[in-house]
Amino acid sequence: MSVVSFGSLALVSGAVAEPVEETLTIDGEEMITVAPAPTEPPGHPFDEVKSGWLYREAETRQVESDSFENPGMLNVQRGEEIWNTVEGEAGKSCASCHDDAAETMKGVGANYPKWNEKEQKPFNVELQINACRTERMEAEPYKFDVQDQKDLTAYIKHQSLGEPVKIDLAEGEMMDWWEKGKDRYYLRTGQLNLACASCHEANSGQYIRADHLSQGQTNGFPTYRLKQGNLVSIQNRFRGCIRDTRAEYPAAFSDELMALEVYTAWRGSGLSVETPAVRQ
Site residues, ligand HEC (CB under 6 A):
1, 3, 52, 55, 92, 94, 96-98, 108, 114, 125, 128-129, 131-133, 136-137, 152, 156, 194, 196, 198-200, 208, 211, 213-214, 216-218, 220, 223, 237-238, 241-242, 244-245, 260, 264, 279
CA distance 206 to 213: 6
Q: Which is nearer to ligand HEC, 55 or 177 (CB)?
A: 55
Closest separation between CB of residue 280 and ligand HEC, Å?
Answer: 8
Q: How many CA atoms lie within 13 A of 268 on its CB side?
A: 31
Closest separation between CB of residue 231 and ligand HEC, Å?
Answer: 12
Phi-psi sector, 118: left (phi>0), alpha (psi -120 to 50), beta:
alpha
CA distance 154 to 236: 14
Identify the DSSP state of 183: H
- Determine which one of 110, 129, 241, 242 is catalytic: 241
Binding residue per annotation — 237?
A: yes
Residue nearest to ligand HEC (CB): 52
Backbone angles phi, psi at 98, to 5 degrees: -100, 0
Binding residue per annotation — 243?
A: no
Closest separation between CB of residue 105 and ligand HEC, Å?
Answer: 6
Q: Which is nearer to ligand HEC, 69 or 183 (CB)?
A: 183
Q: Which is nearer to ligand HEC, 44 or 136 (CB)?
A: 136
**150: closest CA among 43, 275, 48?**
275
Instruction: Let me know: does 2 contact 209? Beta carbons within 8 Å.
Output: yes
For the question of residue 162 being annotated catalytic, the response is: no
Binding residue per annotation — 97?
A: yes
Closest separation between CB of residue 18 and ligand HEC, Å?
Answer: 14
Binding-site positions: 94, 97-98, 132, 196, 199-200, 237, 241
Binding-site positions for substrate: 237
Which residues are part of the catalytic machinery? 241
